[in-house]
Amino acid sequence: MDINDLRRERATINTRVQELAALEAAGTALTAEQLAEFDQLSARFAELGATISRMEQAERMAAAAAQPVDRASQGQGANAPPAYAQPRTPAVPGARVASMAIALIAAGGIPSVAAGIAEQRGYGEDVSMALSQSSAGAGGVLVPVNLAKEIIELLRPASTVRSLGVRSYPLMNGNATIPRINGGAVVGYVGVDSDIPATEQSFDDLKLSAKKLAALVPVGNDLLRNAAAGVAVEGIVVADITGAIGAREDKAFIRDNGSGDLPKGLLSWALSGNKIPASDASTLQKVETDLNKAILCLEGANSRLLAPGWIMAPRTFRFLEALRDGNGNKVYSELAQGMLKGYPIRRTTQIPVNLGSGGDESEIYFADFGDCFIGEDGTLMIDYSKEATYKDDEGNVVSAFQRDQTLIRVITHHDFGPRHVESIAVLTAVKWGK
């Protein structure tokens, strides 16, 4: 056995010891067999710890006593090019947050115990320290800002809206005020000995206030058992967390109406005059006219077009992708490169295709995302439950206990808004591709 095998065995023993300890902590008296098993596991754990400590010491001594290799004696020649050490494969971004969640689950929600598990499994000193300095409250365990930033950065490709260049802005005490110019300056030519006209600009504010987003991420307990055996599963958990948060963010930042505890999305921010009913798209000219109307809404308002882009449903995207001219050529061949009429395009199922009285309408958004902001407080809270229920994508109630799953709950706070509402256009009643 090498040192990693011994570490895995020790981690497995610790998991079983924690299970027995949890039984006793819950008021269940351990049987004679369980007490004997506890003593045997404790002795083996101590034995493994001593062995691992000696092997680690031997590794450190070997590294300290290492001598340079005589390349000529190895047949490589004195002038052979140097062989550089290869860097280790970098850890999965955001894996440390997933490791915190996995250790917390294994510890039964006790941060101090989770810190020990994180240390035993080699999750890193930062993870162990973060857990040892945390206390589980009603909202869960607080993820340090430096670790939370990894998840927030991973949301950029996971979220359609973020990927188009929306700017992040810090929320101080849950609020932020971003000034914006609301009226233009007065500028003119003047004659000799004439007064220069006053140059004034009127200002307004974009006010952002923290909205609480709670994401439930179901994780199979078999996967968590693999983590106890030393199998790297953090990347899977990270992908599930960012995917769940990213999808809900898109719905909020695109179509939520700002009522109650919800953010206000693009649809509600857009001016009524910038909401344009789409044609039936029976001809290419009609499609072109509709798309140009959306672009002209921004150009006509002197939008700076810092980072303009499109968002639409997959059904609409496929309709445009399938359009052919009279010679059979693709009308919008640039869609293959993720562009439409020279601007980036994204598709998301968070834009419905069952709107309108007939239940067959959708929407197309064109906005200057460089003029939009996501206010964030930069913190995450994680918690878990093995007994809770949740609703799946089809609205069915699922029992985590019955499915042998564990629910990871991630809580974050943010808000969304544009500096200039004129920077958003929406094509409504889009039946293209139905």
What is the tens place of the pLDDT at every residue in 261-313? 999 999 999 999 999 999 999 999 999 999 999 999 999 988 889 999 999 99
Q: How many CB atoms lie within 10 A of CB 213?
A: 18
Asked whether 94 and 242 are in contact (CB, 8 A), the reply is yes
Examine the pLDDT at 228 and tell me if it is beyond 70. Answer: yes
Point out which residues pair with 425 in neighbouring strands.
366
Distance CA 11, CA 44 (A): 11
Point out which residues pair with 206 in neighbouring strands.
178
Find the mean pLDDT for residues 354-379: 94
CA 35 to chain centre: 44
For the chain, give the percent of residues with pLDDT over 90: 43
pLDDT tens for each residue of 168-210: 999 988 899 888 765 545 555 666 666 655 555 555 788 999 9
Distance CA 434, CA 354 (A): 10
pLDDT grade, residue 377 (50/70/90)? confident
Check residue 71 and give its pLDDT: 46
Mean pLDDT, the chain, whole residue set: 85
Distance CA 146, CA 148 (A): 6
* All domains of the chain in start order, with CATH: 140-181+200-434 (3.90.1690)
Residue 164, phi then psi, degrees to nearest 5 = -90, 5
DSSP 364: E
pLDDT grade, residue 74 (50/70/90)? very low
Q: Which residues contact 4 (CB under 8 A, 6 or more apart)?
A: 230
**DSSP letter for each residue of 155-197:** HHHHSHHHHTTPEEEEPBTTEEEEEEE-S--------TTPPPP
pLDDT tens for each residue of 302-358: 888 999 999 999 999 999 999 999 899 999 999 999 999 999 999 999 999 999 999
Asked whether 301 and 308 are in contact (CB, 8 A), the reply is no
Range name among 53-57, 117-121, 252-256 with the lowest pLDDT average: 53-57
Q: Which residue has the higher pLDDT, 152 or 79?
A: 152
Check residue 269 and give its pLDDT: 96
Single-letter amino acid, residue 402: Q
Distance CA 349, CA 351 (A): 5
Check residue 303 and give its pLDDT: 87
Find the mean pLDDT for residues 36-50: 87
Examine the pLDDT at 367 and tell me if it is beyond 90. Answer: yes
Check residue 194 and give its pLDDT: 67
Distance CA 21, CA 366 (A): 57
